[in-house]
Amino acid sequence: MRPSRVFALLALVALCWGLNWPVGKLLLRDLSPLWAVVLRSAVGTFALLILCLARGRLVVPKRADVPVILSVGVLHMTIFSALVSLGLQFVAAGRSVVLAYTTPIWVLPGAYLMLGESAGWLRIAGALLGLTGLVTLFDPQHFAWHDGRALSGNAMVLAAAVFWAMSILYIRAHKWVTPPFELTFWQALVATVLLFPIAYFFEGAPSAIPPRAVALLLYGGVFGIAIAYWALTTVNRAVPSSTTSIGLLLVPVFGIGCSWLLLGERPDATLVVAATLILGGVALGTLRRTPSAALAKRNG
End-to-end CA distance of the chain: 21
Q: What is the pLDDT of residue 242?
A: 61
| pLDDT digit string, tens, across residues 173-229 | 888 899 889 999 999 999 999 999 999 999 999 888 999 999 999 999 999 999 998
pLDDT at 8 over 80: yes
pLDDT at 123 over 90: no
Mean pLDDT of the chain: 88
Nearest 10 degrees: Cα torsion 37, 38, 42, 44: 10
Instruction: Give percent of the chain above pLDDT 90.
Output: 60
pLDDT at 241 over 70: no
For the chain, give every domain's residue range. Answer: 3-298
Helix axes 211-218, 3-27, angle to 10 degrees: 150
Could you tell me the pLDDT band of residue 292, with boundaries at 50, 70 and 90? very low
Q: Give every CB contact of residue 268 below 8 A, 6+ residues apart in sequence.
A: none
d(CA 104, CA 122): 13
d(CA 96, CA 84): 8
Could you tell me the pLDDT band of residue 276, with boundaries at 50, 70 and 90? very high
Decide: 219 and 23 in contact? Cβ < 8 Å: yes
Taking residues 107-130, what's their average pLDDT? 82
| pLDDT digit string, tens, across residues 68-86 | 999 999 999 999 999 999 9
pLDDT at 7 over 80: yes
Decide: 297 and 180 in contact? Cβ < 8 Å: yes
- Nearest alpha-carbon partner for 269 in 136, 146, 173, 159: 136
- Reported pTM: 0.88
| pLDDT digit string, tens, across residues 106-118 | 888 888 888 887 7
pLDDT at 296 over 70: no
Decide: 283 and 107 in contact? Cβ < 8 Å: no
Taking residues 228-248, what's their average pLDDT? 77
CA-based angle 260:262:263, to the nearest 5? 70
Strongest mean pLDDT among 117-126, 238-247, 281-290: 117-126
* Cβ atoms < 10 Å from Cβ of 269: 7
Decide: 293 and 102 in contact? Cβ < 8 Å: no
- Nearest alpha-carbon partner for 298 in 250, 208, 235, 254: 235
d(CA 184, CA 119): 29
